[in-house]
Amino acid sequence: MTELHFTVLDIAPEPYAATPILMARLRIEETTGERVHAAALRCQIRIEPQRRGYDDVEENLLLDIFGRRPQWSDTVRPFLWMHTSALVQGFTDSTEIDLPLPCSYDFEVSASKYLHALRDGEIALVFLFNGTVFSRGATGFEVHQLPWEAEAAYRMPVAVWRALMDQHFPNSAWLRMGRSGFEALQQYRTAHGLLDWDETVAALLRDASEEVR
């Protein structure tokens, strides 16, 4: 039976994609000397937030996810970022492939809020692999399942994530609103003769600040 070992060599933004995609360069080694004829990989990628520190600015931005710092011993736990997959061509000993990581900037998703909150440093990731491996056995082709125990850790610089978002959403962020809330906001903008959404939100914040006073 073949045994596969995985190493994440690098992660970088895909420069020619129409939507935000990171590309992970993956090294796969077969450790028993058997030839792999093909493999269909499935990959689960998890973020391990407990493996780094956070400054005061990041703490405030992470309040919605983890709560106040005294709560972090209970709330800062690994969580799912995404699922992805790839087909691997035949190889002997080792090969390298590109594993696409389609990303979202939807702030309803915890991973997007977490990544947006980070100023610098690294993001601790763990890749968990599963899938089907095709190899040659004593009586012909053999098919076996790759167990979820196959994994690889990687520390991705926060700068990589920010470069990807700047590439697709320069100086922008996206919020999803209910239709009734959007229509009310649109009516406010029209009634006050405001030029764009940034000016509209700024006006609302000023109004709210004056009411508090």
Q: What is the pLDDT of residues 1-51, one digit of tens each?
A: 788 999 999 999 999 999 999 999 999 999 888 899 999 999 999 999 999
The average pLDDT across 135-150 equals: 80
C-alpha pair distances (Å), 115 with each of 13, 83, 137, 178: 15, 17, 45, 24
Model confidence at 139, in pLDDT bands (50, 70, 90)? low
Q: Which residues, in sequence order, are bridge partners of residue 79?
A: 47
Architecture per CATH, domain 4-168, reads as Sandwich (2.60)
Residue-level pLDDT at 142 = 85
Residue-level pLDDT at 213 = 65
Say whether pLDDT at 54 is over 80: yes
User: What backbone torsions phi and psi does residue 34 show, to the nearest 5 degrees?
Assistant: -75, 150
Model confidence at 137, in pLDDT bands (50, 70, 90)? low
pLDDT, one tens digit per residue, over 72-104 is 999 999 999 999 999 999 999 999 999 999 998
Which one, of 21, 167, 8, lies nearest residue 102 by Cα? Answer: 21
Residue-level pLDDT at 157 = 98
Domain extents in the chain: 4-168, 179-212
Which one, of 31, 26, 34, 32, lies nearest residue 6 by Cα? Answer: 26
